Amino acid sequence: MRQLPEVDVVIAVHDEARPIERATASALRNARNVRVTVVAHGIDEASVAGRLGTLADDERVRILELRDGIASPAGPFNLGLDEATGRFTSVLGSDDELEAGAIDSWLALADRASADAVIARLRHAGGRAVPTPPARPLRSRHLHPVRDRLAYRSAPLGLVSREHFGDVRFAVGLPSGEDLPYVTRVWYSGRPVAYDRRGPAYLIHGGAGRVTQTARAIAAEFAAVDSVLSDPAFAGLPRAQRESLVVKLVRVQLFGAVSNRSSTDSWTIEERGALAAAAARLLATAPGAERVLSRADRALLDAILDGGVPTPRLIDLSHRRRRRVSFDALVPRDLSRVLSVDGPLRFSAASALALR
């Protein structure tokens, strides 16, 4: 009888045109014991098997079928996690792949560091590195959620311990951001987290059919954020951890909602009101967190909160904050926070170093 896998890799696929044979084969290019579960989401198992070819006959590969009628990867990923028996689980996008030996490298680090989660190194298939999380230079084990800015890794790519996180699942019923509550639970759990920052990478492919950033209604876009903020586990976090998470949500989710809508036609009075309400909810959960933001960020935040600011001005401020080397982008309005770990100077330096 074949022994239980050390790692259960889950791949969710909703379209048989996806290159799942590439993703599956890449997960098997490891010496350690790995099982790949491909979840056919809303499509026939037979069509997935046909796409996999001879890989479908590999004893390390299994295909599950899910028809839940929900256009979200949460369901198929959760089914794969439900059926996992390995020491660790890992999720892999159907468009993506792993460099040879990636899982071996993650497991070796997990064993050396006694880690319950290992963060994978990310790289675009074209070669460019992805600088998340912007952790402390050279730091690879016993990462700290605040000092190593773990919130900026918003997907659980790498390894996650079943023993300690076997009950954590992707959020269902969300139009996007289903992995945000998941990673928040893991990164802020207090369990040991390691970062394989020099090992074989998780490769992100940008195929023509890949889902891209799409502007949804503000209420829908912030449903995942609300899920995190309403979680009792978030309320129980130390103040510094709540502040670090809120700063990330402001920079990425809140400001991203503006940058994704660069046309005045994208905004209505109702959407501006919803955006202001989302910003107010964020700030209320960690009062004072905004003090670490740059002058440019604070100007945009002020405009978001003030629904009376003309929309062209809001869009202009969004463009201005992305001028990364300007004085306003590098210095906070509150100069006492100029050297804060989440302040723009240290954050920008850590992000630059993460690209090397």
Structural domains of the chain sorted by starting position, each given as residue range(s) with its CATH number in brackets:
7-204 (3.90.550.10), 218-355 (no CATH)
Angle (CA) 121 127 128, round 5°: 70
Percent of the chain surpassing pLDDT 70: 97
Percent of the chain surpassing pLDDT 90: 89
Q: What is the pTM of this model?
A: 0.93
Judged against a pLDDT cut of 90, whether residue 216 lies above it is answered with: no
Judged against a pLDDT cut of 90, whether residue 217 lies above it is answered with: yes
CB 39 within 8 A of CB 77: yes
| Adjacent-strand bridge partners of 38 | 11, 63
Of the pLDDT bands very low, low, confident and very high (cuts 50, 70, 90), residue 354 is confident
Cα Rg of the chain, angstroms: 21
Return d(Cα 163, Cα 159) in angstroms, integer. Answer: 12
Q: Pick the residue with more confidence: 48 or 355? A: 48
Helix (H) or strand (E) holding 120: none
**Half-sphere exposure in the Cβ direction for 106 (13 Å, CA):** 34
Q: In the prediction, which pLDDT does 207 show? A: 53
Q: In the prediction, which pLDDT does 206 show? A: 79
Of the pLDDT bands very low, low, confident and very high (cuts 50, 70, 90), residue 209 is very low
Q: In the prediction, which pLDDT does 247 show? A: 98
Of the pLDDT bands very low, low, confident and very high (cuts 50, 70, 90), residue 2 is low
CB 10 within 8 A of CB 37: yes
Residue-wise over 51-64: b if at least 16 C-beta within 10 A, else e?
bbeebbeeeebebb
Judged against a pLDDT cut of 90, whether residue 153 lies above it is answered with: yes
Judged against a pLDDT cut of 60, whether residue 1 lies above it is answered with: no
> What are the DSSP calls for 171-200, one per residue?
PSS-SS-TTHHHHHHHHTS-S-EEE-SSSS
Judged against a pLDDT cut of 90, whether residue 258 lies above it is answered with: yes
Angle (CA) 11 17 18, round 5°: 30
Of the pLDDT bands very low, low, confident and very high (cuts 50, 70, 90), residue 214 is low
Task: Report the SS3 class of residue 108.
Answer: helix
CB 36 within 8 A of CB 28: yes
